[in-house]
């Protein structure tokens, strides 16, 4: 299919999907605390998505069994919600997608549960900073490697591991469209064009780069079992940088 540029109408639908994803995250921020289960987070997200005339994009995607990915501490991404109870000092990455009239919004955020360590606080701050460094480069005429490089530089300046096997992607009527967006330079020669819609999603580790997949065939964890953070927005390429779609209207 190649990389598509979206029409104004398609972008309108994606902005609505993105708004609903942002609503879910606003609620996650409020309810994540010691004592809640990741299943409760999942069920809350499902209800918000349905109440806003969207469908949960992840549910059933390649067989994924839930509305959110709930990835705690050393879990990087694709964790299953469960009866696991969050405890003080955990960090949890919630990744969620909503589909509105066939168009997708996709966004992930890492949250502190109660009081967390300074090193986890910094990991979260820098991973969010890496996301916004990438987004600042998401503009017409830039090379896609400018986005990847900005993320890589932010991570390496802080000696964090960069998850190599997963990354950002085009988004539209499918959750995963071309191009794949590496979180490090790969000598990409793709030039960004106004109208492309892309999810940027750095996953950074307190330890090394390496990850492995658990026997459930979904949950990705760091090989050294050190914590990992994940921040993601879906955005529109413009002449001046990213127009973030997965946020609440100002
Ligand atoms: Mg996502
Ligand atoms: Mg994504």
Cα 99 to Cα 59: distance, rounded to the nearest angstrom: 11
How many angstroms does the Cα of residue 61 sit away from the middle of ligand 1? Answer: 12
**Does residue 71 lie within any of the structural domains?**
yes
How many angstroms does the Cα of residue 235 sit away from the middle of ligand 1? Answer: 12
How many angstroms does the Cα of residue 67 sit away from the middle of ligand 2? Answer: 14
How confident is the model over 176-223, as pLDDT tens digits? 999 999 999 999 989 999 999 999 999 999 999 999 999 999 999 999
**Does residue 3 lie within any of the structural domains?**
no
How many angstroms does the Cα of residue 133 sit away from the middle of ligand 2? Answer: 17
How confident is the model over 68-114, as pLDDT tens digits? 999 999 999 999 999 999 999 999 999 999 999 999 999 999 999 99
**Does residue 22 lie within any of the structural domains?**
yes
How confident is the model over 4-24, as pLDDT tens digits? 999 999 999 999 999 999 999
**Does residue 250 lie within any of the structural domains?**
no
How many angstroms does the Cα of residue 175 sit away from the middle of ligand 1? Answer: 9
**Does residue 1 lie within any of the structural domains?**
no
Which ligand is nearest the CA of 230, by number? 1
How many angstroms does the Cα of residue 168 sit away from the middle of ligand 2? Answer: 6
Domain limits for position 104: 8-244
Whether the model clears a pTM of 0.75, i.e. scores above it, the answer is yes
- CATH (domain of 126): 3.90.230.10
Into how many domains does the chain fold? 1
Task: With CA atoms as reference, report the closest residue to 204 among 113, 115, 91, 114.
Answer: 91
């Amino acid at each position: 299919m190649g990389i598509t540029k979206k029409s104004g109408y398609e972008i309108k639908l994606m902005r609505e999907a993105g708004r609903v994803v942002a609503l879910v995250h606003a609620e996650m921020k409020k309810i994540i605390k010691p004592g809640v289960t990741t299943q409760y987070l999942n069920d809350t997200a499902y209800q918000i998505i349905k109440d806003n005339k969207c469908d949960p994009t992840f549910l059933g995607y390649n067989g994924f069994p839930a509305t959110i990915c709930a990835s705690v501490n050393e879990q990087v991404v694709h964790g299953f919600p469960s009866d696991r109870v969050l405890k003080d000092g955990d960090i949890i990455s919630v990744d969620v997608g909503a589909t509105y009239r066939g168009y997708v919004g996709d966004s992930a955020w890492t949250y502190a549960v109660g009081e967390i360590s300074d090193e986890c606080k910094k990991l979260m701050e820098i991973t969010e900073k890496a996301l916004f460094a990438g987004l600042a480069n998401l503009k017409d005429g830039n090379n896609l490697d400018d986005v990847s490089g900005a993320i890589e530089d932010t991570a390496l300046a802080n000696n964090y591991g960069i998850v190599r096997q997963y990354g950002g992607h085009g988004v539209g009527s499918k959750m995963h469209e071309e191009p794949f967006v590496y979180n490090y330079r790969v000598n990409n020669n793709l030039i960004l064009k106004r109208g492309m819609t892309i999810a940027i999603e750095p996953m950074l580790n307190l330890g090394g780069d390496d990850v492995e997949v658990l026997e459930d065939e979904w949950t990705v964890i760091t090989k050294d079992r050190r914590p990992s953070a994940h921040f993601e927005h879906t955005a529109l390429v413009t002449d001046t940088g990213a127009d973030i779609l997965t946020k609440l209207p100002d």
